[in-house]
Amino acid sequence: NAGVTQTPKFQVLKTGQSMTLQCAQDMNHNSMYWYRQDPGMGLRLIYYSASEGTTDKGEVPNGYNVSRLNKREFSLRLESAAPSQTSVYFCASSDQNTGELFFGEGSRLTVL
């Protein structure tokens, strides 16, 4: 049972480059999320998708775009990476009954 799978696990970018983080879940969850984790700041919500076909901004959406490709997949795109986007990114999906979040293993992104 894979749960939530995100790729890549590590990435180094130069300022101005673009990239897409991929995420897929196999638990038939409606809602999916992208968080970033920075030291001393916990997890902050970037974007979320309450259901297939919908996306909404979270706390820190600037500099990011998302696509809910289908029920399983939710991708996060950085169009023009900045050093402030150096972080660990987590994708998650949630059980619609309890609200429990299931997290991927994280993607560590460094922008030089």
Contacts with other proteins, residue ranges (CB under 8 A):
4, 31, 33, 35, 40-45, 48, 50, 56, 58, 90, 92, 94-96, 98-101, 103-106
Q: Is 93 exposed, middle or buried (0-12, 13-18, 19+ CB in 10 A)?
A: buried
User: CB-wise, 17 or 58, nearer to other proteins?
Assistant: 58
Task: Name the minimum Å distance from CB 44 to other proteins.
Answer: 8
User: CB-wise, 74 or 90, nearer to other proteins?
Assistant: 90
User: CB-wise, 1 or 98, nearer to other proteins?
Assistant: 98
Through-space distance between the first and last CA atoms of the chain, rounded to whole angstroms:
36
Q: Give the DSSP letter string of 75-103.
A: EEEESS--GGG-EEEEEEEE-TTT--EEE
